[in-house]
Amino acid sequence: MTAISIIESQANEVKLPRWLRECLINQQSESNEALICQAFNFAYELHEGQYRKSGEPYIAHPIAVASLLRDLGGDSVTIAAGFLHDVVEDTEVTPEEIEAMFGVQVRQLVEGVTKLSKFNFSSNTERQAENFRKMFLAMATDIRVIVVKLADRLHNMRTLNHLKPEKQRRISRETRDIFAPLANRLGIGRFKWELEDLCFKYLEPEAYEEIKALIAERRADREARIATVTETLRSRLEKLNVKVIELKGRPKHLYGIYQKMQRQQKEFSQIYDIAAFRIIVESNEECYRSLAVVHDAFKPIPGRFKDYIGLPKPNRYQSLHTTVVGSNGRPIEVQIRTMEMHQIAEYGIAAHWKYKETGSSNQMLSPEDSKFAWLRQLLEWQKDVNDAQDYMENVKDNLYEDDVYVFTPDGDVIPLAHGATPVDFAYRIHSEVGNHMKGARVNGRWSVLSKPLENGDIVEIVTQKNSHPSLDWLNFVVSPTARTRIRQWYKRSHRNENIARGKELLEKEMGKSGFDSLLKSEPMQIVTQRCNYHSVDDMLAALGYGEITQNHVVNRLRDVVKEQQPVEEIKVSTEEDVEISNYIPHNKEKQKGKSPIVGGEGMLYHIAGCCKPLPGESIIGVVTLSSRGISIHRQGCHNVEQVPGERIIPVNWNDGTEETKPLTYPVDIQIEAMDRVGVLKDILARLSDRGVNIRNAGVRTGKNKPALISLSLDIRDRQQLEYIFQRIKSMSDILNIRRVIDSGDR
């Protein structure tokens, strides 16, 4: 059937809008109009024989939807999708066929709208409604899907009177909670007002009729007032050469009046008495000049002026708002804007289209162009935020940008993080649901538990009393809650295994001998407290589970033992003076670098046994009362404190002794170590690696105490000693290492 014959045959049954007739008559092949006409023809044939509740042929609905989209300035892809939006749902056509005939974009729009239409938005809480709106935005990778859906909803609302009251109310609630706010969010004021008024009509029929009647009653009065104000403003603006594109009293929409009455607790007359005007001019500059005219002609009410041109709303709305007092003392609300701002206020994101299109007669935008323009615009809004409240809302939305929205079998929407799996969903419902989860059905089919959920999935969790979480789940869950709950469950239920494993790990680290008594020791109790566990077993379980490491425990233990070490533990008898005893040569000889000591030339010297100084440490000479010459002490040795000044001789180490055979000096050290078999052997091995001679070695062990190892070493200088300390300290069993000076010396 050709397009024209459709027009003729249907002339009586369906009235085709003029634009569509012209399109059908004038279309050229390969043009954008051709796509639209082809979509119309296809929809027409598919819906043939179908009727709406109103008795009209079904095709009237797609025609109305396509017309709304065309009025918004929709591109050919969107208008074509408007014609086809119900064919997948209501006829035998598959998405693949649509793609073959109309291209992938039309298919995507039709599929998107079909998917949205399947949901039953039985929301009764504001929170759920918000989740639905977010899901919509998240699902619609192409914003045009939402606009087609809004046009579909608007026409359904317009023809709602043919349905049963119960259905009218359900659809109206859904529209009020989800679709009108979405239209507002997309800035399509035109859709928003009409949707709201239609919902109002079905949800609050009495209030609606009352307000409607009141408006009708006062029409004459209102029109007279409006005419006077219009006259005044028009003549004043003309005097100033402001070119006025439009100046008229605008009707306030019914729901807006109702909301204002509710919000401000005012009578209808108080709200309604406010006359509302809109002035449309050519430029921003003229907007401000018009404002001056309004403020000059009438007295402005302080605090009511708002500059949304300088500071646009997040949905890009721009205008100047002011309220002035009319000659009869009644307030007049005035909006001033340019044509472009007006377009944006009425058509939102679609305004962009409309502009470009009208620019060049019949040529429409390429679908690509407009699609990206929309997305771009949507992103821009999110940056364009001035109001703190709006800002918060935007920030929240951004946070949820990557969320997926899925349904419970009862139809509640659950927002989840991107990549969330049935397991995340289960734990989101309740931890017990997660802990006893046996499997999951997604859209009625068993699903792999690790498979990420998609927007709109209906998820049902099947639980069983003796099912329990698996550690594998940790590999794929994305929500912190699920992760924590799985761990908790595992910890609780595998406590004994974890304790045994923790014990094993710690034992390996610290050595077997005395390990059990070490576990019961006081230092271990302190470590437990410091790691915030109630008992040693709790700590071992945490270790076994991997919440803490054995190194962590050993380090803490080392600290505790160190703190607790009583000072009297180090009791070493003052040994005899060291046998390194020599004669300090005179200057000449010294230059040859033969002596390690400088100062006290010509005298005998020996290294004091009490403090055993090493090259590199500050020293002092003390003339002994015996015949043994000078005794070399460390600076600050307590044995020197009482010595009278005349017996003190300043001495230094000779730095130039490299040529002589390196001398060594005795040093005593003490090492506390975990009582591990072989720890002494390991220490000695490390020392002999460095070529250090060991004169003496001894080990003391005690119940519940670390092993105490005493060593006497031959050391060249301070540097070597420091190096050895480091080497020994780096062994994991070592709790402490210190140099033994003399009892009471520090």
Residues lying near Mn ion in the complex (CB under 5 A):
86, 152
Q: How far is the CB of 61 from Mn ion (least distance, A)?
A: 6
Tokens linked to 608:
């004091």
Name beta bridge partners: 281.
244, 338
Positive or negative torsion for Cα 260, 266, 272, 278 = negative
Helices (H), 616-717: 679-689
Of the pair 136, 308, the CB lying nearest Mn ion is at 136
8 Å CB contact between 208 and 257: no
Tokens linked to 631:
């005794």
Output phi, psi for 623, to 5 deg: -75, 120
> Which helix or strand (DSSP H or E) is residue 51 part of?
none
Q: How far is the CB of 119 from Mn ion (least distance, A)?
A: 14
Q: How far is the CB of 108 from Mn ion (least distance, A)?
A: 17
Of the pair 47, 436, the CB lying nearest Mn ion is at 47
Of the pair 20, 510, the CB lying nearest Mn ion is at 20
Q: Which among 286, 297, 280, 284 is positioned nearest to 242, based on CA atoms?
A: 286
Q: Which residues contact 438 (CB under 8 A, 6 or more apart)?
A: 462, 463, 464, 467
Of the pair 152, 174, the CB lying nearest Mn ion is at 152
- Reduced to 3 states, what is the DSSP secondary structure of residue 414? strand
Tokens linked to 53:
């509740």
d(CA 680, CA 707): 10
d(CA 275, CA 145): 37
Of the pair 33, 86, the CB lying nearest Mn ion is at 86
Of the pair 71, 504, the CB lying nearest Mn ion is at 71
d(CA 262, CA 515): 76
Tokens linked to 471:
């550690």
Neighbours of 448 (CB within 10 A): 11
Tokens linked to 666:
């005795």
Of the pair 152, 333, the CB lying nearest Mn ion is at 152
Tokens linked to 359:
């620019």
Name beta bridge partners: 461.
440
Q: What is the 3-state secondary structure (H, E, C) of 234-290?
A: HHHHHHCCCCEEEEEECCCCHHHHHHHHHHHCCCHHHHHCCEEEEEEECCHHHHHHH
Pairing of strands 275-281, 331-338: parallel
Of the pair 20, 110, the CB lying nearest Mn ion is at 110
* 170-208 core/surface letters (b: 16 or more CB in 10 A; e: else): bbbbbbbbbbbbbbbbbbbbbbbbbbbbbbbbbbbeebb
Residue nearest to Mn ion (CB): 152
> Which helix or strand (DSSP H or E) is residue 278 part of?
strand 275-281
Q: Determine what percent of the chain falls in helix, strand and coil, rounding each to the nearest 5.
A: 50, 15, 35
The rounded Cα 414 to chain-centroid distance in angstroms is 17
Q: How far is the CB of 72 from Mn ion (least distance, A)?
A: 16
d(CA 346, CA 547): 59
The rounded Cα 284 to chain-centroid distance in angstroms is 39
d(CA 336, CA 324): 13
| One-letter amino acid of 184 | N
Roughly how many angstroms between the first and final C-alpha of the chain, as a whole number? Answer: 111
Pairing of strands 630-634, 604-607: parallel
Q: How far is the CB of 152 from Mn ion (least distance, A)?
A: 4
89 is catalytic: yes
| One-letter amino acid of 655 | D
Of the pair 152, 742, the CB lying nearest Mn ion is at 152
| One-letter amino acid of 108 | Q
Of the pair 152, 457, the CB lying nearest Mn ion is at 152
d(CA 152, CA 115): 13
Of the pair 182, 237, the CB lying nearest Mn ion is at 182
| One-letter amino acid of 569 | E
Q: How far is the CB of 114 from Mn ion (least distance, A)?
A: 10
Of the pair 116, 486, the CB lying nearest Mn ion is at 116
Catalytic one of 13, 22, 48, 90: 90
538 is catalytic: no
Q: How far is the CB of 86 from Mn ion (least distance, A)?
A: 4
Q: How far is the CB of 137 from Mn ion (least distance, A)?
A: 20
Tokens linked to 539:
């700590």
Of the pair 109, 247, the CB lying nearest Mn ion is at 109
d(CA 669, CA 722): 12
Q: Which residues contact 603 (CB under 8 A, 6 or more apart)?
A: 583, 584, 629, 630
Catalytic one of 8, 22, 89, 267: 89
8 Å CB contact between 693 and 664: yes
d(CA 289, CA 298): 14
Positions annotated as catalytic residues are: 89-90
